[in-house]
Chains A and B, each alone.
Chain A
Amino acid sequence: MKNRKTAFVIIGIFLLASTLFMFYNTGANLDYVLSRRGIRLATMIVVGVSVAFSSIIFQTITNNRILTPSIMGYEAVFILFQTIIVFLYGDRSFQVISQQSNFFIALVLMLLFSVVMYLVIFRKEKRNIFHLLLMGMVLGTLFLTMSQFMQVVIDPNEFSIVQNFMFVSFTKMNTGLLAVASVTLIGSIMYVHRYLKYLDVIALGREHAINLGLDYNKLIRKFLLVISLLVSVSTALVGPITFLGILVTNLTYELFATSKHKNLVWLCSVIACVCLVAGQFFIEHILNFSTTVSIVINFIGGVVFMYTILKTQKN
C-alpha cells in the first residue's frame, strides 16, 4: 500500500517536471522551442529508462549494490569501439561513415563484449568484489584514454572537434540517433520483459537459482546481451554518465520495499527520468547555471557511491 502511494507521488513529480520542462518560459517562437524541448525530453526519457534497466539487471545478476555497467567500464568500451570503427575506415575524416552505421557496428561489437564480461565475472572461482570494481574503473579510464589516443592519431589538427563528436553530453545531445536508439531500446525491453521474473530467483544467489530449476548460465548470458544493448543506447545519445546508475538504483531500493524486479525496473526508470528532467529544469531555469545535469549527478552519485562502499566494508 505504501509502495503504491510512493509510486504515484513519483509519477506525479515526473509529469509535473516534464510539463514544466516543456512549457516554462517558452517565449514567442513556440513551434521551434517546443520541438527542440520535445526532442531533449524524449532523449532524457530514453537514457533514463535504459540506464535504470541495465543497472538494476546488472546489480541483480552480480548480487551486489555497488557495481553498475558504467562503473565497470561498459560505456568506455562502447566509445572505444566507435573510435576504432572510425580509425579502421582509414579515410581521415569523420564524414565517410554515417552515425547510424557506426552505431550499429559498435552495437554488434558490444554484443561480443558481453561474452567477454560473462567469462570475466561469472567464472567458477569467486573474485573479490573490490578487485572487480578497481579493475573495472581502471579499465574504464584506460579505454577512454585509448580512444583519445586514437583520435589524436586520426587527426591531430582537429582533435578538439573530433572530441566534441565523440563525447556528446546533455547540452549537446546526439539527436540524429534518437530514432534508432529508441527502436533499439523498445526492442530490448520487449525481449527482456518476459525474463524479468527470473531475476527474483537469481537474486537469491546462483546455487538457489539452479536448485530451483533455472537454466542459470543461459539466463545470465541473455541478460548480459540486453545490458550491452541498453548501455550502447544511452552512451550513443549522451555519452558516459558514470554515477547515474548507482544513484537511481540505490534511491529505488531505499524508497520501495519490494523485491519484484518486474516492478523495480519500471519504478527505477521513473526515478531516473525524474532525476534527469527535474534536475535539468532546476539547473537551467531556477539556478540559471550554464552547467549540465550530468556534472551534478556525477557529484551526488559519487558521494552516494563513496557512502555505499564505506558502509559495505563496515559490515
Chain B
Amino acid sequence: MKNNHYDQKILFGFVCVTLALVWVSLFTGIKNIQFSELFTDPEKWMFFMISRFPRTLSLVLIGAGLSIAGFIMQQIAQNKFVSPTTAGSLDAAKMGILFSLILLPQATLIGKMISALLFTFLASLVFMLIIRKVKFRNSVFIPLAGIMFGNILGAIATFFAYKNNIVQNTQEWMLGDFSAVMQGQYETIYLILPIVILTYIYADRLTIVGMGDSFARNLGLSYGTVVNMGLFAVSLIVSASVVTVGAIPFVGLVIPNIVSMILGDNLRKTLPYSALVGAAFLLFCDILGRIMIFPYEIPIGMMVGVIGGITFLILIIKKSR
C-alpha cells in the first residue's frame, strides 16, 4: 500500500517535469511568443499552430515511441543492448526511403512511409534470424552483430545513393532534425499513438514471449505471432519517425535501461515511465539545441548522439565490470 503511494508520487513527478518541458518547448524559438498574446494576436496564433505545436507534439510522440520501441525489442531479444540503433532498424528505414525516392520520385509522405516500413520490418526479421543463429549468449555480441548489420545496409544504401546522385538527401535523414516539422508534413507520426496504447494493453504477452518459445507455448500463446506483431510495431514507430524527422540514435537503447535501473523490470509498471522519460529526454535535447547557438539550431540527432552515446558507453563499462 505504502509502496503504491510512493509509485504514484514518482509518476506525478515525471508527469510534471514532462509538462514543464512541453511548456518551455512551446514558447522557445526565434519568434518571441507569449502565452497572453496567443488569443489577441492572430498572426502569432497562426505561427504557434503551424510550427510550435506540431514540433512539440512530434517531440513527445517520437520520444515516447522510440523509447517503447527499444523496450519491445529488448523484451523480444532478451538482451538489454538491443534497440533500433543497434539492430540496423534506422539504416533499414533510411534504405526504404531511398528506394522509394529512386523508384517513385513523386512518392508522397505515405509512400515513403510504407516503403520504409517494409524495409524496416524485413530487416528486423533478418536480425532475429541472426540472433537465433547465435547460440553463444554473450550479451555484448548481439548488439555488435546488429551494428555491423546496420553498417552493411548503410553501405548498400550509400552505393545506390551515389549512383543516383542523391547522397545529399541521405545525409539529411542521417541526422534527426525537428526544425522542419510543420503543419501538413508531420501527420504520419500520429501512427505512433495507437501503437503505444496497444503495447500497454499487450505488455504481459511481451513479458511471456521474453521467457522463450517453449514457455510461451506452454501458456497457450503463439510465440511467432506475438514476436511478429512486436517487430511490426517497432518497425512502424521507427519508420514513422525517420520519415518525418530523420534518424535519432540511442533513445530506444538508453531510456529503457535507465528506467529499469531505477524501477526494476515489471513491464506494465515501467512502460509508462519509459514513454514519459523518452518524451522528456527528447524535449530537453531539442530545447538545448535551440538555445545553445541561438538564433541557429543544433540538430537534435547530434545532441542525442552525444548525450546518448556517452550514456551507452557508461552502461557497457558498468556491464563489463
Contact = CB atoms under 8 A, between A and B. Distances in A.
B67 to A, nearest CB: 19
Interface in A289-315: 289-292, 295-296, 298-299, 302-303, 305-306, 309-310, 313-314
A5 interface: no
Given A295-B155, A313-B138, A134 B148 contact: no
A290 B163 contact: yes
Contacts of A141: 249, 305, 309
Interface residues of A, number: 37
B316 A291 contact: no
A15 interface: no
B271 to A, nearest CB: 26
B296 interface: yes
Interface residues of B, number: 42
B107 to A, nearest CB: 23
A254 B318 CA distance: 37
Interface in A127-163: 127-128, 130-131, 133-135, 137-139, 141-142, 145-146, 148-149, 152-153, 156-157
B231 to A, nearest CB: 21
Contacts of B158: 295
B178 interface: no
Nearest to B302: A149
A310 B305 contact: no
A313 B152 CA distance: 20
B163 A146 contact: no
30 contacts: A128-B140, A131-B140, A131-B319, A134-B147, A135-B317, A141-B249, A142-B310, A145-B302, A145-B306, A146-B306, A149-B303, A152-B293, A156-B296, A156-B298, A242-B151, A290-B162, A291-B162, A291-B163, A292-B162, A295-B155, A295-B159, A295-B162, A296-B159, A298-B155, A299-B156, A302-B151, A302-B155, A313-B138, A313-B141, A314-B136
Interface of B: 81, 133-134, 136, 138, 140-141, 143-145, 147-149, 151-152, 155-156, 158-159, 162-163, 165, 175, 249, 292-293, 296-299, 302-303, 305-306, 309-310, 312-313, 316-317, 319-320
Interface of A: 127-128, 130-131, 133-135, 137-139, 141-142, 145-146, 148-149, 152-153, 156-157, 242, 289-292, 295-296, 298-299, 302-303, 305-306, 309-310, 313-314
